[in-house]
């Protein structure tokens, strides 16, 4: 299991300290939520900020584009240092073309699905994807309530990935924390995005490690 803390919940006035803290805690990816105020009702940051924080860490930058016409901006985010570029299937007309373009510029290509978008729409592009991101909230804000139907979608996506592209990662994003991290991983998620669960904790380093332990640690008697 990989943990991808969402910097949406970080304090940007001290972002290099926040990133150093996440590295200490053992974060795998840095999840960057890019919002344009059109695809989602919120605004975050563009390529300049991504390029600036690129200097703070060598960790994988997992860019989640919640923007309309993502094809116009993927090159800029790649140049700024994004390693994984995920766009929303609902936000572009020619998804296969964009997946292939993202790979051609040296990034890993991801597609995200909103809670209302069926997993079946991935069938004809699954082999072009390096990551599928299942939204377990409607995108736009951190700290929202988990939508339980996501669990079914994770299972469906896991089956699709196992059958057609086992190297593809399966990420879940939105409302994940102590109450549901074990069940979403058991259903097949292998990358877990978490914002408020980590950053609202009194000790975010200990919290990230505790969240990981909920998935990875088995009782002593259960070990082989």
Tokens of 98: 């964009």
The binding track of 25-44 with respect to ligand DX5, each residue x by CB under 6 A or -, is ------x-x-----------
Number of residues that bind Zn ion (CB under 5 A): 3
2, 192 contact by CB (below 8 A)? yes
**What are the catalytic residues?**
33, 173
Instruction: Find tokens 């929303």 and name the residue.
Output: 88
Q: Which stretch binds Zn ion (CB under 5 A): 12-20, 84-92, 171-179, 211-219?
A: 171-179
Of 117 and 144, the one with the shorter C-beta distance to ligand DX5 is 144
- In whole angstroms, how close is the CB of 48 to ligand DX5 at the nearest point? 20
Which member of 81, 140, 188, 204 binds ligand DX5 (CB under 6 A)?
A: 140
Minimum distance, C-beta of residue 219 to Zn ion, in the bound complex (Å): 32
C-alpha torsion sign, points 84, 188, 179, 147? positive
194 binds, among Zn ion, ligand DX5, none (CB under 5 to 8 A by kind): ligand DX5
CA gap 143, 188 in Å, rounded: 23
169 binds Zn ion, rule: CB under 5 A: no
> Of 33, 50, 52, 51, nearest to 42 (Cα)?
33
The interface with Zn ion within residues 13-72 (CB under 5 A) comprises 33, 64
Residue nearest ligand DX5, CB atom distance: 195
Question: Tokens representing 146?
Answer: 């988990």
Smallest distance, Å, CB 157 to ligand DX5?
Answer: 17
Compute the residue count for the chain.
224
Residues 80, 54: contact at Cβ < 8 Å? yes
* Cα distance between residue 27 and residue 3, in whole Å: 6
Q: How far is the CB of 31 from Zn ion (least distance, A)?
A: 6
Contact (Cβ atoms closer than 8 angstroms) between residue 132 and residue 167: no
């Amino acid at each position: 299991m990989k943990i991808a803390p969402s910097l949406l919940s970080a304090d940007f006035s001290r972002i290099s300290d926040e990133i150093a803290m996440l590295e200490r805690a053992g974060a795998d990816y840095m999840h960057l939520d890019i919002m344009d105020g059109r695809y989602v009702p919120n605004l975050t940051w563009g390529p300049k900020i991504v390029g600036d924080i690129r200097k703070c860490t060598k960790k994988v930058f997992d860019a989640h584009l919640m923007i309309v016409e993502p094809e116009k901006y993927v090159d800029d985010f790649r140049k700024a240092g994004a390693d994984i570029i995920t766009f929303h299937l609902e936000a572009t007309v020619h998804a296969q073309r964009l997946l292939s373009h993202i790979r051609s510029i040296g990034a890993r290509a991801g597609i995200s699905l909103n809670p209302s978008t069926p997993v079946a729409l991935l069938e004809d592009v699954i082999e072009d994807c390096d990551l599928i991101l299942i939204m377990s909230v409607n995108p736009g804000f951190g700290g929202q309530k988990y939508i339980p139907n996501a669990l079914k979608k994770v299972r469906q996506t896991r089956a699709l990935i196992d059958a057609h592209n086992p190297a593809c990662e399966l990420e879940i994003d939105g409302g994940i924390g102590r109450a549901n991290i074990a069940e979403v991983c058991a259903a097949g998620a292998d990358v877990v995005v978490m914002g408020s669960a980590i950053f609202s904790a009194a000790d975010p380093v200990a919290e990230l490690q505790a969240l990981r332990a909920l998935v990875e640690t088995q009782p002593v008697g259960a070990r082989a």
